[in-house]
């Protein structure tokens, strides 16, 4: 009898222990499914501590001058690239073709850079109401006349129009450097001033050799060599 009672007690104890372990196992599994107690292996335990993989669109503060610089320089560059794309098929002078290729190669990436700025600043990408034909921009009539030209006449129009176009870009860059605060926009303005002033000097030399009038300074927009230009 004593041995039977002892066996019953041991059996009861073992059964109780098994039930407790089963309950614990079931409870842990439940927590795993709910995702409450154990962090996921594919995500960091603290999501806020995860490093960001995206760089800021344009670091630093900005003001209205920075916004206007981007909004105006984007279509300004786009028109210069549009003009440069005409040169391979229509220019006669290999130097004009080379210059046009350099302008397209420089300004196309700058357009892509600037297009990210307004969105990052919470501003519209274009000037409200559209851009006027100032700062060296060509009118639709100017562009139609330019695109209809070929050979030596194309070379003269391209050089004269692009000098005025570059002068306008430098004036816009000067305004940004005088009034803007964003470091990325100011750095681009400095680059535009340097590169386009160099290109202006080269275009003046080429245009002078073709008998065209050449503006005396890169900071003074001139349309004297462009009949029919409207601003």
Q: Are residues 71 and 182 in the same domain?
A: yes
Residue 57 binned pLDDT confidence (cut-offs 50, 70, 90): low
Q: Are residues 24 and 130 in the same domain?
A: no
Look up tokens 């100017």; give the residue: 142
Q: Are residues 203 and 104 in the same domain?
A: yes
To the nearest whole percent, how much of the chain has pLDDT over 70? Answer: 63
DSSP H helices in the chain: 2-34, 64-84, 87-90, 94-121, 140-148, 151-179, 183-209
pLDDT > 80? residue 46: no
Q: Are residues 69 and 148 in the same domain?
A: yes
The CATH number of residue 106's host domain is: 1.20.1260.10
Q: Identify whether 51 is part of a domain.
A: no
Rg for the chain, CA atoms, rounded:
34
Q: Identify whether 141 is part of a domain.
A: yes
Q: Are residues 84 and 135 in the same domain?
A: yes
Q: What is the pTM of this model?
A: 0.67
Number of domains forming the structure of the chain = 2
Q: Which of 13-17, 64-68, 95-99, 203-207 is least confident?
A: 13-17
pLDDT in tens, 84-129: 999 999 999 999 999 999 999 999 999 999 999 998 999 998 887 6
How far apart CA 11 and CA 29 sit, in angstroms, is 27
pLDDT value of residue 23: 42
Q: Are residues 22 and 69 in the same domain?
A: no
Q: Are residues 181 and 83 in the same domain?
A: yes
pLDDT > 70? residue 176: yes
Q: Identify whether 228 is part of a domain.
A: no
Domain of 21 in residue numbering reads as 1-29
Q: Identify whether 194 is part of a domain.
A: yes
pLDDT value of residue 209: 84
Q: Identify whether 225 is part of a domain.
A: no
Q: Are residues 117 and 5 in the same domain?
A: no
CB atoms within 10 A of CB 112: 11
Q: Are residues 114 and 4 in the same domain?
A: no
Q: Are residues 131 and 176 in the same domain?
A: yes
Nearest to 84 by CA among 67, 70, 102: 102
pLDDT in tens, 138-151: 999 999 999 999 99
Q: Are residues 5 and 108 in the same domain?
A: no
Q: Are residues 12 and 107 in the same domain?
A: no
pLDDT value of residue 222: 36
pLDDT value of residue 116: 92
Residue 49 binned pLDDT confidence (cut-offs 50, 70, 90): very low
Q: Identify whether 217 is part of a domain.
A: no
Q: Identify whether 35 is part of a domain.
A: no
Q: Identify whether 222 is part of a domain.
A: no
């Amino acid at each position: 009898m004593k041995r039977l009672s002892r066996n019953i007690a041991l059996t009861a104890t073992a059964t109780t222990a098994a039930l407790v372990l089963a309950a614990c196992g079931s409870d842990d599994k439940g927590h795993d499914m709910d995702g409450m107690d154990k962090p996921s292996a594919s995500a960091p335990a603290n999501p806020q501590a995860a490093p960001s993989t995206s760089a800021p669109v344009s670091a630093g503060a900005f003001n209205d001058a920075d916004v206007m610089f981007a909004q105006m320089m984007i279509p300004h560059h786009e028109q210069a690239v549009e003009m440069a794309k005409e040169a391979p098929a229509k220019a006669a002078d290999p130097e004009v073709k080379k210059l046009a290729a350099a302008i397209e190669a420089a300004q196309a990436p700058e357009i892509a850079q600037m297009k990210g700025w307004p969105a990052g600043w919470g501003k519209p990408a274009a000037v409200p109401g559209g851009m006027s034909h100032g700062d060296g921009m060509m009118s639709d009539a100017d562009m139609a006349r330019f695109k209809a030209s070929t050979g030596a006449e194309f070379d003269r129009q391209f050089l004269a129009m692009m000098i005025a176009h570059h002068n306008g870009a430098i004036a816009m860059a000067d305004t940004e450097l005088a009034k803007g605060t964003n470091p990325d926009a100011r750095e681009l303005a400095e680059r535009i001033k340097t590169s386009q002033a160099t290109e202006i000097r080269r275009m003046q030399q080429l245009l002078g050799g073709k008998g065209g009038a050449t503006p005396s300074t890169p900071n003074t927009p001139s349309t004297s060599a462009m009949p029919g230009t409207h601003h």
